[in-house]
Amino acid sequence: MSNLPLLEARTSFSENVDSDVIAVFQDSAKKAITPKGPYGGLVDRLRKVEAFAAKHGTVQFIRFGGKAPADNVLLLGLGQGTELSEEKIRAAGGHAWAKLSVEKVKSLVIHVDSLSEVKGAHSSLTPLRCIRALAEGLILSSYQFTKYQAKSQSEGKSDGKPNDRLAILSSSSEDSLPLRIVFLTQDKGLKAQLDAQLAQVQAMGEAVWVTRDWSNQPSNYGTPVYFANEAKRLAKENGLKYKVLTELDAIREKMGLFIGVGQGAERESRFVIVEYTPKNSKNSKNLSKNLKTIALVGKGVTFDSGGISIKPSARMEDMKHDMTGAATVMGAMMLASKWEVQNRVIGIMAFTENMPDGDAIQPGNVLVSRNGKTVEIINTDAEGRLILADALDYAQDYKPDAVIDIATLTGAVSVALGKQCCAVLGNEESLIEALRRAGESNGEKIWQLPLFDEYFEDLKSDYADMKNSANDSNGGTIRGAIFLKQFIRKNTPWAHLDIAAMAYNVSHLSYFPKKGASGAYVRTLAQFIADF
C-alpha cells in the first residue's frame, strides 16, 4: 500500500513544491471566476480561449518549468457555489488526486483562501467545511494496495510458503503520490481551526486505510489468526482493550453456529473483542450516566467458498472481501478512539472460513446457537447470519444501549439497491434515522428496507426453531435480517447494515478505489458513535 499523505496547515510556506492547487468557481453564466492571487491572470487567459470554465470536477494542470511559485499548478473546478455541497467537494478532491497521481506530484500546496469566495446553498457550507471535505476527498483517493507487488522476487530465500515469501514482497514507494499536502492560508484564526480539522481527517484516513487493507488481504495471508493478531496490535496502538476467544473458548461459550461455520476449514476461527472507553471514564467505578454503550458486530468470513453449497467459480476471488464487516468495525473502533468520542464502544469481530471438507456442516444439519435456539441448515452459503447470531448474543451481554451489526450478508442487496447505498433494517426507527443522518453527512447513503415479523414465516422449520435460508430467492436481504432479529433480546435497540454491494468495486465515486475494498461506512459509524 502507499504511504498515507501528511496533512498540515500553514500561514506561510516558502519551500519548493511540485504543484499549487487553486479552487476556481463559476459565475451565474457558468464561466470561471478570477481567483485572487498570482494565478488570477492565468485563469483569465484560459477563460478567454474557453480552455477552462471551472465546471465541477474538471481540472487543468499546467507546467511552468520552475518559473512560478511552484513547478506546476492544478486548477480545480468547483462549479457554482450555490450548487456546491460537501459531497461534491469530496468528489472534486478525488478528481484532483487522479490528475496529480498521473502527473507524479509528490508535494502540493492547497491555497485555502481560494475557497473563501464560496457561496453555498446552505449556510452550513463554510470555507472551513469546504476545506475539510476537500482534504477528505484527497486522502480517501490516495490509497493503493500494492503490498504483494514485488520489487524483486530474486532477493531472499523462501521455501514457497506464503508467510516466508511475504518477506520479499513490498510496496513500491515510487507510486505513493503525493506524500505531503499543505493547506496554506493567511488567516491565523482559520489556520488554528484547520489544525484540528486536518488532524481528524488524518485519523479518518488511517482508519479507512486499515479497513481497506484488511478487506483486500488475500485469504492465504489474511487468516482468522492473522486478523486476530492485527486487531491486538491496533488495539494496543489506539488504547483499546483487547480479548480473543479461540475455538475452544467459543465452544465453552456454546457458540454452536459460529463454530459450525468454520468446522470445515483447516485454519482455526477466532472471535475478537476490542473495547473503547473515554479517558475521563476509565478510572471511574461507575460510568457516567450520560455515557452510552454501543456494540458493533462485524462478520469476518476471511474466505467464503459457500461450503458444501459451493458458489459458482466466477468472481469467487472476491470472496476474500467477505470479512469487510469485521474490517469496518476495526476501522470504526480506531476512529472513535482517535476522535476521543464520549461514548463506550464494544467492537466484536467473528473471524472464520467457510470451506467444504469432510467435517463441514451439511444441508439438513441442525445447530444449536449460543442463546439455545436451534437452526436447520438449508444452505451452507447462508453462513454470515449464523456467525452473527452468536456474536450478537455475546454482544448483548454488555447491556448496550444500541447494537449495530455490519456485514456483507447477501447478494440480494445488490439486486434491490444496486451500488449506490447499503441497506439498513432494525427494530427502532430512531436508531435507523441516526445512522442515516451520519451516513448523509459523510456522503455514504443508507436505505431502509422493511422488517415485518411476517417475513419470519419463510424461515420456520419442521425440525428446528428456524431455518437459515428459504428455498427461493424472494426478499433475500430481508430474510437475512429477520433471521438475525430472532437473536435480539427484548428492549435492545438494534440495526443491521448489509454492505455487500458497497464493500468493494465502488467505481462510481471518485474518492474510492476503482477496484478492491472501498472502506465505506467507517466514517458513518464513527460519526454515529460520536453523535449518539
Q: Which residues are catalytic?
A: 311, 385
Strand partners, 184: 10, 111
Predicted confidence (pLDDT) at residue 166 exceeds the cutoff of 70 = no
pLDDT at 116: 73
Q: What is the mean pLDDT of residues 192-199?
A: 96
Which of 177-191, 221-235, 355-369, 507-521 has the weakest average pLDDT? 177-191
Give the whole-number percent of the chain exceeding pLDDT 70: 90
What tens digit of pLDDT does each residue of 104-155 get?
998 999 999 888 766 655 556 888 999 999 999 999 999 999 889 876 344 4
Residue (of 121, 1, 101) closest to 59 by Cα position: 101
Cβ partners under 8 Å of residue 34, min gap 6 = 40, 43, 44, 47
d(CA 470, CA 474): 9
Distances (CA, A) of 219 to 52, 273, 317, 328, 334: 46, 21, 9, 17, 23
Bridge partners (DSSP) listed for residue 243: 273
Nearest 10 degrees: CA dihedral of 146, 150, 151, 153? 170
Helix ranges (H only) for 398-505 are 412-417, 429-441, 476-485
pLDDT tens digits, 379-388: 999 999 999 9
pTM of the model: 0.93
Reported confidence tier of residue 15, pLDDT bands at 50, 70, 90:
confident
As a whole number of angstroms, the distance between CA 392 and CA 181 comes to 42
- Average confidence (pLDDT) over 1-19: 86
Terminal Cα distance for the chain, rounded: 33
Provide the angle, in degrees to the nearest 10, between the axes of the packed helices 324-339 and 522-531: 50
Q: Which residues are within 8 A (CB) of 382 and not within 5 positions of it... i.e. 6 or more apart?
A: 468, 469, 480
Nearest to 127 by CA among 145, 141, 142, 114: 114
323 and 351 Cβ atoms separated by less than 8 Å: yes
Q: Are 114 and 37 in contact (CB under 8 A)?
A: yes
Residue 96 has pLDDT above 90, yes or no: yes
* Whole-number pLDDT of residue 164: 47
Mind listing the pLDDT tens digit for each residue in 430-447? Answer: 999 999 999 999 999 999
CB atoms within 10 A of CB 341: 20
Task: Report pLDDT for 282.
Answer: 57
Predicted confidence band of residue 1 (pLDDT cuts 50, 70, 90): very low
Q: What is the mean pLDDT of residues 498-519?
A: 96
